[in-house]
Amino acid sequence: MFDPHCAGRRRVLASIGGLAAAAFAPPALALPGNSRTTPPGERLESLAQLPPAPPALRRALEPLRGKAVLVNFWATWCEPCRTEMPALVSLAESQPGLALVTVAVADRADEVRRFFDEHLVDPVLVNDPEQVVSRAWDVRYLPTTVLLDTAHQPLLRARGELDWHHDSVRERIRSAAAARPART
């Protein structure tokens, strides 16, 4: 039998419990570096190594040997991904020696092509409908972007949307890509 008084008390107690949990939740539960006070460039975390690139990504990287590469994991159904894509393209175009490879995660090829056509951009594309590449590199958030040096070894990673136009981000990308000499 439904008792409206008990139901009302339960709702109030649940609301109070939810507010208390939110107030005391540790900041570590948030996406790493997602603080409003953290300069965007500091959200790029250092990355020492990754597993070898799966074949589809290796094929896309091979012609870019000698260039630093931003590998962006994204999807057309991910609004933050769609928002940051033009800035990533602009960054890669404005930096000599920097290329952009996009990995379309669990997305339809026709939707991806339509998005690029609508935005008049044509980055290197790796379709990853079965998430082979994203799983190999343990990508759990979209968007995720990895900066590789000129020998395609990992340098930095950004998880979540980032302001790629911000001076601190651009400077961090420039200095990281220039700091490590190319390995053969």
Instruction: Write the pLDDT tens digit of every residue in 116-162.
Output: 999 888 899 999 999 999 999 999 999 999 999 999 999 999 999 99
pLDDT in tens, 50-68: 999 999 999 999 999 999 9
Q: Can you give the pTM of this predicted structure?
A: 0.77
Write the secondary structure of the chain as one string of H (helix), E (strand) and C (coil). Answer: CCCHHHHHHHHHHHHHHHHHHHHHCCHHHCCCCCCCCCCHHHHCEECCCCCCCCHHHHHHHHHHCCCEEEEEEECCCCHHHHHHHHHHHHHHHHCCCEEEEEEEECCCHHHHHHHHHHCCCCCEEEEECCCHHHHHCCCCCCCEEEEECCCCCEEEEEECCCCCCCHHHHHHHHHHHHHCCCCC
Q: Which of 27-31, 37-41, 138-142, 180-184 has the weakest average pLDDT?
A: 27-31
Domains of the chain: 35-179 (3.40.30.10)
